[in-house]
Every structure is written in structure tokens, then in C-alpha cells.
Amino acid sequence: MVASTVAPEWIEAGACNARELHALYTGLTATTSPDSPLRVLWVQAREAHVSVGASQDASADLDLEACAAEGVPVVRRPLGGGSVWVDADQACFFLVQPRQVLARGHRHLFATGLGIAMDVLRELGLEGVEARGQDVWVEGRKIMGTGAATLNEGCVFGASFLRRFPVERFLACVRAPSDGYRAWLRPALESGMTDCARQCPRIPGHEELGQALCRVLERRYGLPARARPPAAATREQWLAAGHEELEDLADGQGSPAVRDGIRVNRDNHVFETRGACGRLRLHVQGARIARIWCEDPVTTRVLEQRLIGQSPERLRVRSRLNGQLPPNLVDEISTRIDGLYRGIAAA
């Protein structure tokens, strides 16, 4: 790798509440000028919260009353993706650059950001670190989601180091059509997600993570990152610009991140819908049906016997169910399963 002739700027922002955290990197990006260097914003979440994607309808995916009752703020961010748990004391980093220097736009930004994030995890001694799409996985489980956005003349990549993932607290925030849906989602989250507490010999502190990130940046760019603490007036300018952008986002229309379900990671999705045959629950793992259930026990037995391990595509489902269930039921179930599966790709 050819070393950069310009060291990145290191902006340490300390601890912020949920809205301030997202406003800070949003405002920094929105006010970036075309001649700005790469800037790395290092910030810590002061409070646990759920962050939803730029085009996501929070009310469709989250139980907002439960979030409020639990004291968990919900903030729509300018970055893409779905619902993300950000724990208290979670360390976050954002790479901010002028959009004109990114020859391949967000693809370039993701390649850079994912490479840095994976190098930091390896620096901490983790093995089996790999990128799958826009996520970072460790030993077959997702440990980090990432996102990117363009705001005016700036582009931003964002990610955070998940020290602990409290499954029960996150589950309490998810909008669930039934207790059974939540019961299926729990093991999918436990097996599909991981964190530093599970993977590291000891949980790294904020300072240790920051030092590891600085070492990775120095190796990548050939020069130590230059500390550039912002003046109080500059920080307030970023926050003001960021709050304005977040208010515009909050007023915009959104849609569910995944229709009638949730994306646990790239390879695991849990769904529940209701139709003429009642409620239908589905767990798709990769390109195969891992679990399936409907309200009628007789139909459920047929679905389990004929569809577990099979592709969710409509023609495959129809061929497996023909002669096993009434034709109208085969049509409905195959169409519904196929629609849910196609929604994964659309998301």
C-alpha cells in the first residue's frame, strides 16, 4: 500500500448523548469543504440508544412506547441500514472526506472504512475477522454494522465497536407481532451476533480501542494522525448544522428496513405475516428456510416436513407443497414466502 502524503486529522469528541453523537458527525460532514483532509471523528456514546437508518420508519420496526418506557432514545441517522443498538460507553468512529476525492463514491469509502475496522479488531487479537457486504464478522457472527452517507460536499463512513450486546434490552425495543416472534428472534440474535465481551480475552476500554485505531491509521497512511481538537465555536457549528439535518430526516417519510421482519445479519432474517391462513412465521438462513410455523398445527407439520432446508423461492415452495395442502393454500403460502424472501434483496 502506498502511504498517503497527508496524515488524517484526529478529532476526539469525548462522550455525547444520543442525539448529539449523530448530530456531531452529521454536521461535520455537511460543513466539509472540497479541500478538507481526511478527518477521523472519535466519539463515545454516553447513553444506550437505538439508531435507525436514513430511510427507515422507526414506528414500523420498533416498539416506540417500550423504548420510551425503558428510557432508550431512538434517533434516525443519515447513514443507511436498519435498527442498530448503540450501547452506553460504545466507541464510535467516523471517516469524513470531501466527496470529490472518492473516485468510486461510497464503494471507495466502505472499502477504506471496513479495512480500517477489521485491522483494529485484528490488532485486539481477534481471529476469523472478515467483511460480508457492509458488515464485519468474527468467527461466523456479525460484530459490526457500517453505513455511509453524502451530505453536501462531504461523505461519511460510520461504525462502532460493540463491547457488549444486551440481547434482552434490544428485544424489548423491537416491534413484535407476537410473543412467538420474539421467542424466535432471541436465538437468532444470540447465534448471529457477537461482541467484544464474547470474542476478546478481556473487554477493551475506550482508550485501548482509540490507541489501536491510531496505530492502524499510522500504518495505512504512513504518518501519525494529527490531533485537531475543535474550538468550542467550531463544535457548536457542527452540532447546529447536524441538528438541522437530523430534524429534516425526522420529518421525512420512511419504510420498514425489512418488510414484516428483521435482519439479524446478512444471512439471517426472521419474519411474521398474517393472511388467509392466519399468522405465518419464517426464519430464512442464507438462501434456505431454517424454521417455519403457521397457526394451524396440521399445516405447520406439512410445512416443516416439506420446506425446512429448502429455497424460499415461490416455484420451489409450490413444488414441495403441491398435493400436500389445498391448492389455494399452496398458492397463498408460496406467494407470501417468496415475497418475504425477495424483500431481503430489496432491502
Q: Of the candidates 86, 69, 70, 84, which has an alpha carbon nearest to the alpha carbon of residue 18? A: 86
Q: Are 24 and 239 in contact (CB under 8 A)?
A: yes
Helix or strand (DSSP H, E) at 316: helix 314-321
- Rounded-to-integer distance, Cα 296 and Cα 314, Å: 21
DSSP single-letter state for residue 163: S
Amino acid at site 66: A
Q: What is the pLDDT of residue 345?
A: 67
Q: Which residues is 39 bridged to in the sheet?
A: 9, 96
Amino acid at site 341: Y
Q: What is the pLDDT of residue 22?
A: 98
- Rounded-to-integer distance, Cα 4 and Cα 101, Å: 13
Q: What is the pLDDT of residue 6?
A: 78
- Sequence-ordered list of residues with C-beta below 8 angstroms from that of 129, at least 6 positions apart, any chain: 118, 121, 122, 136, 137, 138
- Rounded-to-integer distance, Cα 292 and Cα 250, Å: 36
pLDDT in tens, 77-89: 999 989 999 999 9
Q: What is the pLDDT of residue 184?
A: 97
Strands (E), 198-267: 226-227, 261-265
- As given in the structure block, the three cell numbers for residue 328 are 389455494
Q: Are 58 and 34 in contact (CB under 8 A)?
A: no
- As given in the structure block, the three cell numbers for residue 221 are 497512511
Q: What is the pLDDT of residue 5?
A: 58
- Rounded-to-integer distance, Cα 252 and Cα 275, Å: 30
pLDDT in tens, 147-182: 999 999 999 999 999 999 999 999 999 999 999 999
Q: Is the dihedral of CA 252, 258, 264, 266 positive or negative?
A: negative
pLDDT for 270 beyond 50: yes
pLDDT in tens, 298-334: 999 999 999 999 999 999 999 999 999 999 999 999 9
Q: Are 126 and 63 in contact (CB under 8 A)?
A: no
Name which residue leads in pLDDT, 201 or 71. Answer: 71
C-alpha 189: how far from its chain's center?
Answer: 13
